[in-house]
Structure formats: C-alpha cells, structure tokens
Amino acid sequence: MILKKTSVTRNSFNNLILPFYNPSFFIPVKGKGSRLWDQEGKEYIDFSGGIAVTSLGHCHPILNEVLNYQSKKIWHTSNIFTNEPALRLAKKLVLSSFASYVFFANSGAEANEAAFKLARYYSTKKYHLKKNQIISFYNSFHGRTLFTVSVGGQSKYSDCFGPKPLGIQHAEFNKIETVKKIINKNTCAIVLELIQGEGGIIPASKSFVKELRLLCDTYNVLLIFDEIQTGIGRTGKLFAYEHYGIKPDILTIAKSLGGGFPISAMLTTSEIQSFIKPGIHGTTYGGNPLACAVAEATIDIINTKDVLSGVKKKLHRIIFELNIINKRFKLFTEIRGIGLLIGIVLEKNFVGKIYDILNAAFIEGVILLVAGNNVIRMAPSLIIKESDIIEGMSRFCCALEKII
C-alpha cells in the first residue's frame, strides 16, 4: 500500500509546527551527493552538510543499501536486548579510539547529558559527594536539554527556563589562567569542544589542551571532549583529539556518525566503566539496529586513508576559491577551523549583512551556515566533488555580486 501524500508548502510550517526554528523559504525534497533539489525542482549545492551531519553527502548508495538490508531484519529491540549492529559498531569505535567502552544514544545533547551525569556519578562515588562541579567555557554549545544548555556558555540558550542546574562554572576559551582560578578539589570535570562550533569555529590551541590535561590530572578531574561536530572525519582525523596528542577520559560524538541517520555515542575508559551498574542511566532508542548498521557503514567508509587525506585536499581547494572571492569583494578577514569545519570571519562592514548573504546564496543555489553573528560556516560532505566546490563557489560569487 502506498500512503496518500498531503500537499504541504513552507507556509504550512507556521500553522503546524512550533516555531522553535525559522526555516528557509524552500523545502528540500531530494538529495544526491552534495546536491539538493526543492519542491520546484531547483538545484542547490550543499556546503552545510545538514550542519556537519551528512558526512558522506545525501543518499550515499552504500548507506542506502545497508539501511534497506537492516530494515528487513529488525528495526528496534529496546535496551532489554543488545543487537548485532550495535556490538559491531561499538567494537569499531573502541578499536579506533582511546576508549574501552561505548554508550549509544540518539543525539548530541543525549550523549553530552550522559557524559556529564557519568562524570558526576564517577567522581562522587570514587572521591566525595561534593566533587560534582563542572567547568565549561563561554560561547560553548553542548546541547538543548536543560543540563547541557546550562553547561554551554551562552546564556541566550539557557535563560528564561527557570532555575538552572547548580555546580556549573565557565572559564574563557584558550585562556588557561581563567581555568586555574576556579578549578578546585570539588571539580569533577572540564568539558570543551576542540573547535567551538556555535561560538564561531574557534579551534583550541594545543598548549591550552595540554595544560587542561595537566590540570585535570593534578586535581583528579575528568577531561571531556565534546566532538559532536568534529568527530568521525570532519577534521581529517577520525577524531579531532588526534591532532592534539592528548587523550580525554570521556568523548562524545554524534552528527557525522550516522551520515544523516540519528545516532550518538559516548566513549570512555575501563576505569570509569568499573563504577557503573545497570539502571543508573539509559535510553529506549539508543543503539537502535537501523542507526548502528548505518553508522558502522559510515565509519567503514570514512576511516580510510583516501577519505581522511582527501579532507585536507578539499579544504585547500575551498580556501583557494574563497581567496579569489575575497580579492574581489574584501569579504572576510580570516578563514579558521580544521579540516572541513570552516569559519569565514566577515569584515566588520559585512557583519550586519550575514543573513542577507546567506539568503542571496540560497537564491543562487548554494547552501551555507552561520556560526555567531560574524562567521559564515561551511561543513560540507567529506567526499564532496571538486567540481561541486568550484560550482558552489561560483554561485556564491554570483550571490555576492547582487548584494555588494
């Protein structure tokens, strides 16, 4: 039986869906590789990657094949059982990382919620009941649950929701002295993004991360890396922490992990695992067979020399094209980020026009993102074709011609 479709347009959104979002004027209905098509058949080149999610582009044939195969076997079991795809995926994550154990969830916020809860549970059980303080950083972003949004360092996301969870402090990113001023015997964890995403695509310096690791070791504090946006190949390494030569105690991943299928994971060590007992945390859908099967295939494709080394080559091509654009329009002051998580920092004259620039790009058929009020963000497919990069940049140039 084929279900009858109901006609919908962008105008339907305001009458049907709570306006937590303000979606664009067009509705994508089809995707292939790094290209999307809307209801009218108009084509777009996607430099957003679904906000760093569609790591292998849209409708990758291998992911489609795996999803179709698994959908005919079993969809859901709940946490009463384990399943084969979850076990295979967990093994591959463990063999490819610092970790010994994995917990699966469905979103970045859930993975971070689990990480923060686990850090407090472990520290209070091993040390003392007051060892529950978490240090995060201003302008960070860790999710939308009340706990994770409070740990995040942007009050605009956490204000007006009633009392916030206690025991959370914020320091200044890349300034170790601000951490030293607040860390103490009651601190249980320091959490940071190795590249602040929503905060403007700002990488942590290697010296900063090294000092954090030393502080954590001195005060018996867990170091948590939020790699929701940077994990699974985004930076040209499977995990961004590999660029720093520093291992965390807990790591969270989501976005690119499922290549577009919702899944997240928290990775940790045998030492921390030894304090866990059944029932202290859980999720109904975590480790879903469909999601884990797709994620396993995604890792098999990404965790190869060709794909990971290709990230750097694609970055160089994007920078080359952006510099040509900048010579003409004097649009930005710098390009920052690592791998294919790119921040284009606008000249001050263009800061107030950032959404005009994005909308003009949409009209010309290229999809970009923002990160803060002065940074255009790009997070395309890790396997985006060079021809798509060139064509997308040409369309971006046409957009700029019409508004500058």
The three-state secondary structure class of 369 is strand
How many CB atoms lie under 10 A from the CB of residue 270? 9
The 3 state secondary structure assigned to 374-392 is: CEEEECCCCCCCHHHHHHH
Question: DSSP letter at 33?
Answer: B
Report the Cα 32 to chain-centroid distance in Å.
21
Q: Which residues participate in the annotated binding site for N(2)-acetyl-L-ornithine?
A: 144, 283
Question: DSSP letter at 350?
Answer: G
Q: Which residues participate in the annotated binding site for pyridoxal 5'-phosphate?
A: 108-109, 141, 226-229, 284
Question: DSSP letter at 20?
Answer: T
Q: What is the dihedral of CA 8, 13, 16, 22, to 10 degrees?
A: 160
How many CB atoms lie under 10 A from the CB of residue 11? 9
Q: Which residues participate in the annotated binding site?
A: 108-109, 141, 144, 226-229, 283-284
The number of helix segments (H) and strand segments (E) in the chain equals: 14, 17
9 is written with which tokens? 């347009």
In sequence order, the 6+-apart residues with CB closer than 8 A to the CB of 201 are: 195, 336, 337, 341, 342, 343, 371, 375, 377
Question: DSSP letter at 71?
Answer: H
Going by DSSP bridges, is the β-strand pair 101-105/35-38 parallel, antiparallel, or unpaired?
A: unpaired
Backbone angles phi, psi at 15, to 5 degrees: -95, -10
3-state helix, strand, coil in the chain (%, to 5): 40, 20, 40
The H-assigned helical ranges of 268-346 are 270-273, 289-302, 305-329
Q: How far apart are CA 190 and CA 223, in angstroms?
A: 5
Q: How far apart are CA 151 and CA 120, in angstroms?
A: 13
- Comparing CA positions, the residue from 377, 386, 305 lying closest to residue 341 is 377
133 is written with which tokens? 């303080």
